[in-house]
A and B are shown apart, each in its own frame.
Chain A
Amino acid sequence: DAKTTQPPSMDCAEGRAANLPCNHSTISGNEYVYWYRQIHSQGPQYIIHGLKNNETNEMASLIITEDRKSSTLILPHATLRDTAVYYCIVRASSNNNAGNMLTFGGGTRLMVKP
C-alpha cells in the first residue's frame, strides 16, 4: 500500500470548516483513499473513502486531486467532539483480499477549540 504524509497537528475553531490534507504521491491506480479517526480511548471510526471522484456523506467530504496524489478531508462545521487523531490510509482494491490490512501511520491530531 502507498505511504501517506499528514501534518502532525492542526487547530480549528468550533463551527468552522476543518480541512485536513494528505499526500499520497505514490498511490496506484487501484488504491482507495480512506479516512478514519480515533477519539481518545476509542476504536478507529470509519469516516469516508474514495477512488477518483469526490465523495460526501453525513460526516465529511473527501476531495481527491485529479492526479490522485493528494486529498483533503473536510469537516464542514467542526465541533468539540471532532477533536481526534485523523488517519489517511491508501488501500488496494483487490477484491476479497481480507489480508489487505489497514496501515495506520501517524495521523493528524485535530484540536477543535471553542
Chain B
Amino acid sequence: AQTVTQSQPEMSVQEAETVTLSCTYDTSENNYYLFWYKQPPSRQMILVIRQEAYKQQNATENRFSVNFQKAAKSFSLKISDSQLGDTAMYFCAVQYNTDKLIFGTGTRLQVFP
C-alpha cells in the first residue's frame, strides 16, 4: 500500500523563526509528484509547494522550501520567517500515475507572536 506519514501531529514556532515539518512516504513507483497543502482554520486547502520526483533540485516558493530525499523517501517542508498567517494544518501528499492525491494525517502548526 502507498502511504504517507506525518509524524508530528502538532508543531509551534515563534513569529519570524524557522520551522521544519516532516513527511515520509512509501512507494515502489519511480515517477510521482509530492505536495504540501495548507488548510487554515475553517478555510479551504491551498497548494503551498510541489516537487517532481525526477528533479533533484529542491523546490522553493518564497519563504517555503522543501528538502526532498528520494532514496530516503522523505519530503520535509521548511517555513522561514514564520508569520501569524502561517497558522494552519499542513498536509503532505503524493500523486502517482493515477490522478488521486494520497494525503498524510497532517501537522497542526501554531505560530506565536
Genuine A/B complex = no
Interface residues of B (CB under 8 A from A): none
